[in-house]
Amino acid sequence: MKTINRLFSIFLIFLFLSNGLPLRLSAQPASPHHRPKVGLVLSGGGAKGFMHIGVLKVLEQEGIPVDIIVGTSIGSLIGGIYSIGYSADELEQIVQQQKWDELLSSDVSRLYLSPRDQALKQRYLFSLPINKEKKLSLPAGVIRPQNVLNLFCGLTANVPVDADFSNFPVKFACIAANIENGNEEVLDRGFLPTAMYASMAIPGVFMPGERDGKLLVDGGVVNNFPVDVAKKMGADIIIGVDIRDDYYEKADIKSMSEILLNLINFYSKAKDEKNRDLCDIVIKPDGTGYSGASFSRSAADTLIQRGIDAADAFRPALRALKEKYRLEPRTLSRQYIEPQAWRITQIELACKDELNKEFLLKNLNLETGETYNYADIKAGIDRLYGTGGFRNIYFELADNEKGKTLQLHLTMQEERSQNIGFRVNTTEAAALLLNASWKNFSRTFSLVSVSTELSANPGLNLLAETNWHHFPDLGFEVNAKFQNYNIYDDGKKAFDADLFYTSGKVYLEQRFRKFRTGFSAQQEYFDGDVFARDNTQTLSDATSFLLSGASFYASFDNMDHYYFPRKGTRLYVEATYNTDLKADGKNSPYLLFKMENVVPISRKVAFLANVYGRGVLNSNYPEIKSTFIGGEAYSRYFNYHLPFTGINPVMIGERFIGIGLVGLRFRLSSSQYLSVVFNSLQQGREYDEIVPELAIYGGGIKYNLKTFAGPLDITVGSSDFAKKPTFAANLGLWF
């Protein structure tokens, strides 16, 4: 019998070696009452970590129990989530559900930004922070942990805040590097989300993680394949999954991704050989064609399958281990997975700085006593983060007598930034917009912003806003701008306008999620002339206007993108009452309506439907308040300037104007769009006397391209107002 057993063992070893499979059967066969502990080690490697999921699928299919799991970087994410009871299939679903471009960024949806912050995001190409010494500085990382850390908080919401990771269904630890002294840090207790984040915080890409007063970065810098840690945790049998590339050679180094991965591999090189020797099985999936930055759904699907393919080759070895050591599959506890909705009976704000709690709770907009899931909590956090006064916000849940306590950890920042916007178009040639902004929600004035436009039509804007408890936002705004534009009549340039415009207003504004209402009182001053092209006459005898007035406005905006929305509606309604103080108190009321809709028909086709309208309710009104018509959205001079494809800016409309636009937009690629639009204009001198003879019909073709400098827009249009086709183009952000 002994001879037969020896021959059988020799046969197995020969079989495995002949297939090139690294095998190390070092542990002793298990007794009926005790079996060796199986450890799984997952290396770092960026997006290639999706291959870990494929390997886990095969281990589950083969019934291999995983008792200990240790990971670095992406390996810590996969391992950490798996260790609390998620299955490999659930991990795959989580990966497939993510919007990776949003998750791996510091941004939140524009729907959660204030109107001022939306404008900052939409207008400026570059933003550089200014430190307390009032000098330009660079951030510690390009990406803040805001979105990815909160995803971890949601997935692990049922795990105790002060957890001992050895008590998880699968004993777990992950590796980080102490950026202050270069030490290897084994994270095996505490708040799981911050441990996983610290382990994956690639230096220079992600902001460092903070735990127990230590500043931590990606563990791949010190130990990217931590087999030795699994051994110290009691693993008898170790299965290693190494997704790292070999060192990139000169010809293959084409981006920062390859440089960073080479550097990480250099730092952990000393431990690699020893760690590989400690493994019983080393599975090395093929990640050819993908990099550590290949975070997308299609890449994830392929990489998961490659993990399955790589592990398939080891099924004989896995089955041999299972048989020799009498391994049986484990049923893992689901206590940390369910429930996935919680009754929040208390909300706490944890921050080192002084907080305006009433303002923050108002924006959080989560009532206690209600049941919320992760999406609800994340939306509330996004509303807070969207105010722009925080470096990051994340949450944790704790039990209380009546339900759960939602504790938000807020890191405030006195955000000072210098912002730069640029555009060049056929209307105003080149323009540069410079802005300096200061935000601090612990101060009376939470936002102060100064902007100046350098262009053929230079301008200046000053804004200050305060947020006080449950009251509406109170703001002050001053504008000054020179405007030079052409006025078309019968399709030809008829007049040149040369104006100076300045205004000051005070506003109160209340936000209700996607709705916004406000009231403003303003003073406006216009001065200048409008001359005929031959300089023989002026359009108006008045050369200046001093208008005092008030406005009520309401808006709704759920567009998922400002420049390239796939769906949504943008609505703005305004009622204004003006008095001309230089014309014996001449009173003029106005109504303004704008609505833009994008309705998806398929993944690549969307239906466009826009409606614009304006009414001047008094026939004796200042000419400067006439409705402007023509051009594209980026070439508007005032907020009562309505776009029309096929008319060059500007045409002066009648007192009552209605414009409708319909069209189809085709997505040619991820960055290119082509639209075909038709619009019509109806107008009249009275609201019930629309004159058919004054109607104008037109349309055009629009091409849009996403570029690093902002959107490129090219429009060729035609109408029965213009004598020849119109052409408009813009490169850069709109302001």
Catalytic annotation, residues: 73, 218
Counted residue by residue, the chain has a size of: 735
List Cα–Cα distances, 693 to 96, 648, 682, 721, in angstroms. 56, 20, 9, 12
Both tokens of residue 35?
């079996």
CA distances from 537 to 55, 650, 693 (A): 81, 19, 27
Pairwise CA distance, residues 577 & 564, whole Å: 34
Residues 577 and 586: their CA atoms lie apart, in Å, by 11
SS3 139: coil
Distances in whole angstroms, Cα of residue 305 to Cα of each of 5, 92, 179, 295, 485: 37, 11, 35, 15, 60
d(C-alpha 106, C-alpha 411), whole Å:
14
CA distances from 676 to 101, 634, 658 (A): 29, 18, 20
How does strand 672-686 pair with strand 515-532? unpaired
Cα 340 to Cα 165, 346, 552, distances in angstroms? 21, 18, 42
Nearest one of 656, 271, 311 to 303, comparing CA atoms: 311
Quote the CA–CA distance of 479 and 522 in Å, as a whole number. 11
Three-state secondary structure readout of 331-352: CCCCCCCCCCEEEEEEEEEECC
Q: Are 85 and 336 in contact (CB under 8 A)?
A: yes
Q: What distances in angstroms separate CA 299 from CA 44, 385, 620, 655, one per listed residue?
A: 17, 30, 64, 56
- HSE of 691, CA atoms in CB hemisphere, 13 A: 10
Q: Is 546 exposed, middle or buried (0-12, 13-18, 19+ CB in 10 A)?
A: middle
Please state, in angstroms and rounded to a whole number, the distance separating the CA atoms of residues 644 and 693: 18
CA–CA dist 430, 427 (Å, integer): 9
